[in-house]
Structure 1
Amino acid sequence: MQTDIEIYVLSCPTEKIINWLESTFTLVKKSAPSSLCSKVTVIMNDHDVEVTILEQAAGKRFTSIWFNSDQTPWENDIACAKQAFNALNCEVRCNFQGWEEEGEQDPDQWWRINSYEEGPFIWN
């Protein structure tokens, strides 16, 4: 089980992301600490999960969606990315293997899902 889940969505409005979270989970709390950052708390598997939505997290067009919990319904980032792509209909990127403290993975190796393809690629 991963300690957290993080995906990046391309050109997807924050309100659309929050609507996806509301339609998929029970929304408990919502706040906007800054103009580029929204925080929501949702209930997943009977646990409160903090979700941070940060616009312009990777360049100006990518928004990060970070689930700060090991209690998500997804096995890994890619499983979350697939659900997000189906719900949001915008390109989704995530770390290829999940982040590991001592991993041997290439930090530029990512997974991309869009309407043309799905698979690994180098994001640098």
Structure 2
Amino acid sequence: MQDLEIYIRDLESGDVSGWLSGQLDHLELNDSDLNGVVKGAGRYGSERLRITLYPGAFGKRFTSVVLEGERLPWHSDLECARSAWRVLDREVRCSPGDWQEGDPVEDEKWWRLDHRGEQKVVWN
């Protein structure tokens, strides 16, 4: 099972379904109300995947978007973040994938994609 997680800043109702409807073969996601956890599903080819949105992540301005399935349209969090950034034109962050349990959190860098480009940054 593959899972991807990205964080989208200042997400608005319908943003994720608007983005994913162009990436998946079928989408069942009602993201019109972002006041709580939103669960949905989709299909990519013959594979079913789960979609979960967690509003209020990291200081309340970000929504965590988690995609889980045997096969997804992207191979990494960064590829997924790039896709979201191109469609939504909102700041997107994701893990670089090289952090390991036990590493100091203050040294942890995240990919930030926004109008300034792609940069590795400390979250705060």
TM-score interval w.r.t. the shorter chain? Answer: 0.7 to 0.9
Runs of 4+ more than 4 Å apart: 102-107
1:122 corresponds in structure 2 to 122
CA contact (8 A) 2:26 2:44 kept: no
Query: 3-state DSSP class of the match of 1:53?
Result: strand
Q: Percent identity?
A: 28
Mean Cα displacement is larger for which, 102-111 or 47-56?
A: 102-111
1:26 corresponds in structure 2 to 25
Cα pair distance change 1:70/1:77, threshold 3 Å: farther
Which TM-score applies when normalising by structure 2?
A: 0.82
1:58 aligned onto 2:58 = yes
Residue segments in structure 2 that go unaligned for 5+ positions in a row: none
Total equivalences in the alignment: 121
Amino acid at match of 2:75: E
- Post-superposition Cα deviations, 1:29-82, rounded to whole Å, max 9, x if no partner, equal 3357x8322112111132011010111122111001100224112121001100
What's the offset of the Cα at 1:117? 2.2
RMSD between superposed Cα atoms in Å: 2.5
Cα pair distance change 1:35/1:23, threshold 3 Å: same
Residue segments in structure 1 that go unaligned for 5+ positions in a row: none
Aligned counterparts of 2:51 and 2:43: Cα–Cα separation in 1 = 10
Aligned counterparts of 2:50 and 2:57: Cα–Cα separation in 1 = 17
What's the offset of the Cα at 1:25? 1.3
Cα pair distance change 1:98/1:14, threshold 3 Å: farther
